[in-house]
Amino acid sequence: MNISDVYKWLLNNQFCPLCDLPKEDGSPICSSCNSNLHRNAKQCRRCAIPLTTDATTCDSCKNQSPVFDQAFAPLLYRFPLPSLFHQIKQGKNPEQLNWMGELLAEEFLSRWELDNRFTIMAIPMHPIDQVIRGFNQTEIFAKKLAQKSGLGISRALKKPIKTKHQAGLKRTERLKNLEQPYQVCGTVPERVILIDDIHTTGATLNAASRALKLAGSKEIIALTLCRTPY
């Protein structure tokens, strides 16, 4: 690490990446920006969709459960997240993923009791898409969670089939787009924390979970930074 890297590290750890004002030591963002994020306070235990009643499971999951077993998303997909993710997925402003990943890990670990039988897995990108973008945001989230939890990461899940980008597709198109895009290479963990960035219809998480369960996984927690109601 050279002097320039040290300076950037100190700078990023002193000022909030959202508003550029000083932040508390060790916090991903300042307390003001943190309080302005829209929390997904009451959510379905199965799919993380916001709930307006005292139920623990939404009507949709009661009628047809997702392939994964549980889900958690600490935030709602509201300002400033849509514009930030748009920039990120255009290959711009990827440094925002650092505080997002830290916040996701902190919120998840503060709400869930985990044991060391779980293994972290990130939703993979097609190799060509990852080369074009230059990074996979879900891998960054997975590394942050691994650092804070001490859990291992598995990369047994692959995406050899190139699909259309989910953004902009209708629900039925999303489901058809991800019928069989994921494959497993090697042995899969029995208990998986499957990480994606945004939980919309659940098509991506379901497709990946289906491949993992066919390969032997028994329990899957779908973990995303934010949830957008459908």
Q: What's the pLDDT tens digit per position in 2-33?
A: 555 444 445 556 889 899 888 877 789 999 99
Mean pLDDT of the residues in the chain = 88
For the cut 90, the answer to whether the pLDDT of residue 76 exceeds it is yes
HSE on the CB side for 48, CA within 13 Å? 28
Mean per-residue pLDDT, 191-205: 96
CA distance 170 to 21: 39
> Which amino acid is residue 163, in one-letter code?
T
> CB burial class (10 A; 0-12, 13-18, 19+) of residue 202?
buried
- Give the pLDDT confidence score for residue 170 in this predicted structure: 56
Least confident of 16-20, 58-62, 101-105, 219-223: 16-20
For the cut 90, the answer to whether the pLDDT of residue 89 exceeds it is no
Radius of gyration, CA atoms only, the chain = 18
Q: What's the pLDDT tens digit per position in 145-194?
A: 999 999 999 999 999 887 655 455 455 544 444 556 899 999 999 999 99
User: What is the pTM assigned to this prediction?
Assistant: 0.87
Answer left, alpha or beta for residue 168, where phi above 0 means left and psi between -120 and 50 means alpha. left
